[in-house]
Chains A and B, each alone.
Chain A
Amino acid sequence: MTRQTRTGPLETADRVIGFPLSRIEGPLKVTGTAPYAAEHQSADMLHGFVALATIASGRIARIDTADAAAFPGVVKIYTHDNRPRTAWWDSAWKDEVALPGHPFRPLENDRVLFDGQPVAFVVANTFEAARDAAALIRITYEADQPKTSIEVESEKSYVPKEKRSGIAPPPSPRGNADEAFAAAPFKLSSNYTLEGEHHNPMELFATTVLYEGEGRLTIHDKTQGSQNSQGYVCGIFELKPENVRVFNTYVGGAFGSGLRPKHQLFLATMAALDLKQSVQLELSRREMFYLTWRPATVQTVKMAADDNGKLTAILHHAVQATSLYEDYQEVVVNWSGLLYRCDNVKLTYELAEMTVSTPGDMRAPGAATGVFALESAIDELSYQVGLDPLDMRVRNFVHVDQNQDLQLTSKALHACYRQGAERFGWEKRLHAPRSMHDGPDLVGWGMATGVWEAQLTEATARARLSADGSVTVSAAASDIGTGTMTILAQIGAEAFGVDAEHVTVRIGDSQLPKTSVEGGSWTAASTGSAVAAAATAVRQTLLDAAKDMDASPFGKDVTVEQTAIRDGRLVLEINDQVGVALTDILASKNLTFIEEEAKVAPDAQQAKKFVSYTHAAHFVEVMIDEELGVIRVTRVVTAVAAGRILNPKTARSQILGGVVMGIGMALHEEGMIDHRTGRIMNHNLAEYHVPAHADIHDIEVIFVEEHDDKASPIGVKGLGEIGIVGIAAAVANAIYHATGTRVRHLPITIDKVFYAKEAAE
């Protein structure tokens, strides 16, 4: 372990929090010995394969499964005609993070609601038999007219009647935005569009259901919440929770796609219960495009400023796609009312119903989309006013959340601007578009601000201290590549004064203490705080036991904060000569270990006065070959203010990942639908482009010092989303600076740069 840098408060000296510890599960991941959902075996395992609808809207007139059923190795084929009975009420199908509307029920009836909908499920002795048999199923459809164009359907948009839990609707308008806009000397009104994006974690969605007899199931599921999957199957199949245990020990990426249970969990569990045998179902890459997605969005931003560049009006309107059966919602426009000071603000958000699968949260849902428009608009306005884009933002800095009239727990965004600009060399930037070159390439420097809400959700955790000094911390939390296992080990190690390698971390198991799904950047703050609280409870019990001992060196007044654990002894922090061996304390109570559970929850009183956000400042360099239109992002500096950094190594990786996905959003990612058929055309990784090695040059991450004693008990704000928010705008702004061409439609492909340039000429 290297101990060169530390971040955050220094109240505890020489411990493990704040050190760049390598991931504790790293040796398993790099040797291929960490098992993911489809990598659990049993001798009698059956394999599944799903047949998919080839229309986007309509009904199934006929399914002929005779040839498929006769295929060697096929055990059973399920369609809506023979699906086993399941719970009737919608409430049984609603998972922890379900949306307003009716949850999708696979193989429920003959209706087809979206392209790629599962319409039959083949179970066979081998994967190959299931796959080949599925190709022999013949389906006749009666197709309806699909509705898949956001441009067209947004004309029939509506305000969702039922609000999605946890998603704040736009605030009431403040001031008079229309009047202020009309009166302003500098203003713009621009439209922004985003085509659908697809998460595409590298691991395919998969579920292994191990049938343990008598209705007992052990399930390995690709999910961001083992307890969410457990609750879902128990509700639908009316199973006793004690008979169903779900693991998601290793999750091969998710980015939000694994928040809600997917149909492979339903189908594999259904078949295992019906056939009383273990079943494995690993979806194909193509199917990953039909599961969940960042919804297509059209936005309009109207923004105005006075002669000094002070914002006088912001109007932000967004319409997002949703499915026929659920009202998916994100926070898209609210950011425009809280990131900068502005007294005249009007924000509106509506949905458009389409024949698509329900969209879902994808890394920084809402913010990635809305802040692209906001940060593109303020950049455009800065050129009108004649200000440097960074100066424009600094002039409009705000220290409160004007949307909710709340104070902020912290906002070290000035430091992000300053340190990011300095590292990037922003002061060397020539202001005029097309003024910077590198040989034949146009060079553009752009920047943008990022913001994300720092949240804490209810979480429970357990900590155990054994007589030999070893520590176990456990919670049902998930590690989807975020580094959860490692930071929980560090928190446990710090609390008990041991090295992280002496801490066993147990997560990803529905039987462990309750946490919410892993998402929203809240896991480190929530589960981390719960582990810290459980550890404190263990130390309290330990101290109480030590005080009860004959000739105890600890007086009645000694508090747990005044003690520490060093070298297997409970000691006084100020004088570690005074202490008792852990083995003696435990022996005095005839114990081999002490275990305590603790829970954390949002502070309702504090929430009346404060709200918490993470912030970032992104600086981006692009080089553009003007003849070919090829855009390369050659340099990114991202400065982040996110409270206390538990592990700079894994924290940095989180930001790098956000930046890379943001570059994909800016330049590559586009779900393409043929609107005549309503079908996704590019459902594979050769045609849906995500950034590859060659696309990613230098990325530098800075964590600025930010002390926050309110965001969460351990001072953490979360890092999963903030890296991506604003990146697409920073790239677009750099492209404008390089070319003088403003592209407002993502992704910014070669053709758009050319067309926009031609249109301008």
Chain B
Amino acid sequence: MDLGPARAPSPTIPVTLTVNGRRQQLELAPFVTLLDLLRGDLALTGTKKGCDHGQCGACTVLVNGVRINSCLKFAVSLDGAEITTIEGLGTPDNLHPLQKAFVEHDAYQCGYCTPGQICSAAGLLSEGHAHSREEIRELMSGNLCRCGAYTNIADAIEEVMAADSETTVREAAE
């Protein structure tokens, strides 16, 4: 019996992605998710797999500045996109303000949901829909933290949001 396509090697599709500012030309099987691409071939393991079903938020990255669950996107559907992962936000020696605030407020424990929380918070801040702690909590609810660091995460985001709006006010005044 000829099983046909199942026996054939998977076809690949050329894709160009800019990941953390670096343009990459890739040949990808169509069924590879952005999450598995990042964690596998691109060795960017800062993006975490927590459920693979879009239910936990651990895999949150920014695609063209918008936060998404990378487990729910096939990489080939993102041709030409700019992707920012946690590694692209800051480094241990040069932390992003959110990363710094997370450390200061102990806004994590095991650290596994943390990159997703931070990428999600970065997306949240640029969306500009959250103006209160309650709205932060509501709009961060796609990112689960089983260690229960929620109040500290809200503290960290609130602090960065306040600093951002001060900067905005100052810039507007100038």
Contact = CB atoms under 8 A, between A and B. Distances in A.
Interface of A: 22-23, 25-36, 38-39, 41, 67, 70-72, 126-128, 132, 199-204, 250-255, 282, 284-285, 480-483, 649-650, 652-654, 656-661, 684-686, 690-694, 696-699
A654 B102 CA distance: 16
Contact of A32 (B9, B36, B56, B115): B115
A202 B92 contact: no
Contact of B141 (A482, A653, A692, A697): A692
B114 A29 contact: yes
Contact of A202 (B6, B8, B99, B110): B110
B21 to A, nearest CB: 15
A697 B151 CA distance: 7
B70 interface: no
Contacts of B58: 202
Contact of B29 (A128, A660, A696): A128
Most chain A Cβ neighbours within 10 Å, of B50, B99, B148: B148
A685 B106 contact: no
Nearest to A664: B148
Contact of B86 (A31, A199, A251, A284): A31
17 contacts: A30-B111, A31-B99, A32-B47, A32-B87, A33-B46, A34-B111, A36-B112, A72-B10, A199-B146, A203-B48, A252-B111, A285-B50, A686-B53, A690-B144, A692-B150, A693-B154, A694-B141
B159 to A, nearest CB: 14
A210 B20 CA distance: 29
Contacts of A480: 110
Which 10 pairs from chain A and chain B are nearest by CB?
A32-B46, A660-B148, A252-B112, A481-B110, A29-B111, A481-B109, A657-B148, A32-B86, A39-B45, A26-B103
Contacts, number: 197
Nearest to B145: A202
A200 B56 CA distance: 11
Contacts of A71: 6
B99 A30 contact: yes
A253 B92 contact: no
B90 interface: yes
A221 to B, nearest CB: 15
A37 to B, nearest CB: 10
B166 interface: no
B113 interface: yes
Contacts of A254: 110
Contact of A696 (B56, B91, B113, B150): B150
A625 to B, nearest CB: 16
B151 A699 contact: yes
Given A31-B99, A32-B44, A694-B138, 16 more contacts: A27-B93, A27-B99, A29-B108, A30-B103, A31-B92, A39-B39, A70-B3, A71-B6, A250-B110, A252-B110, A285-B53, A285-B55, A685-B55, A686-B55, A692-B142, A693-B150
Interface string B50-71: 1111011010000000000000
Contact of B7 (A72, A481, A654, A691): A72
Contacts of A67: 3, 6
Contact of A204 (B9, B36, B50, B104): B50
A694 B132 CA distance: 13
Interface in B153-167: 153-154
Interface of B: 3, 6-10, 29, 31-32, 36, 39-40, 43-53, 55-56, 58, 85-87, 89-93, 95, 99, 102-104, 106, 108-115, 118, 136-138, 140-154
A289 B43 CA distance: 28
B52 A284 contact: yes
A127 B109 contact: no
Contacts of B6: 67, 70-72
A21 to B, nearest CB: 10
Contacts of A649: 106
Nearest to B39: A39
B55 A202 contact: no
Contact of B51 (A25, A126, A684, A699): A684
Contacts of B149: 653, 656-657
A686 B115 CA distance: 20
B51 A285 contact: yes
A31 B56 contact: no
Given A29-B114, A657-B148, A22 B7 contact: no
A153 B164 CA distance: 58
A652 B118 contact: no
Given A70-B6, A285-B50, A128 B32 contact: yes
Contacts of A661: 146, 148
B151 A698 contact: yes
Contacts of B114: 29-30, 32
A483 B137 contact: no
A250 B148 contact: no
